[in-house]
Structure 1
């Protein structure tokens, strides 16, 4: 189990590396807006999920039809590597979503939307 102190350090490293990935992705991925991560440190790193958010469903669907998903996986893998997080199957740690879907299903409440998703272990 990871100590509270190490959780704080890891959280800061994740935020820094994922912020870089987010900024790198914006000019490459039409409609991409932001990303966030969620993690249960009792099941780290298996529970870590990085959610990439597009502005609408159409841009998300377009990204899935292009090589954008592969780019997202690579950007995520690079960010996790930079943060010192070792994962074997990057696809298990990436989720794609849209602002439009959150608005439609959860009234724009991202906290509620992310909490409603099952935690991956």
Structure 2
């Protein structure tokens, strides 16, 4: 893991992103097995400010399933993310704001299913 404020090379960014994806894929599998309606997760990040900019978004099929999971599993999902990023020495600056929840249903209604645009709007 690079030191804070260290400028990363493109190669380091690619390697780090691959490691983040690997760790978050494990979180995804856990969530798929334990939480009704959970479909997938993604992340966004600015590698110039990793700890403060990394966002992890849990995506559910419907807004109802999202709301239910947020009520019942939010703390558990946040703990999984924190735990699985720990080996990479990534400490989220504010996990409550950086770990978010969304739904396919909301993306379809508000952004015509265009996740790339939706995620860009939440940056």
Tell me the TM-score normalized by structure 1.
0.90
Query: Does structure 1 residue 34 correspond to structure 2 residue 40?
Result: yes
**How many residue pairs align between the two structures?**
117
- Structure 1: stretches of 5+ with no match in the other structure: none
Shift of 1:55: 0.5
Report 1:7-18 matches (<5 A). 7-18=13-24
Displaced runs of 4 or more, over 6 A: none
> Please, which of 96, 101, 105 is the counterpart of residue 100 of structure 1?
105
Which of these residues, 59, 62, 65, is aligned with residue 59 of structure 1?
65
Specify every segment of 5 or more residues in structure 2 that has no aligned partner in the other structure, as ranges.
1-6
Q: Deviations over 1:53-72 (max 9, x none)?
A: 00000101111221x00111
Cα root mean square deviation, aligned: 1.2
More helix by proportion, 1 or 2?
2
Query: Which stretch has the larger CA shift, 47-56 or 88-97?
Result: 88-97
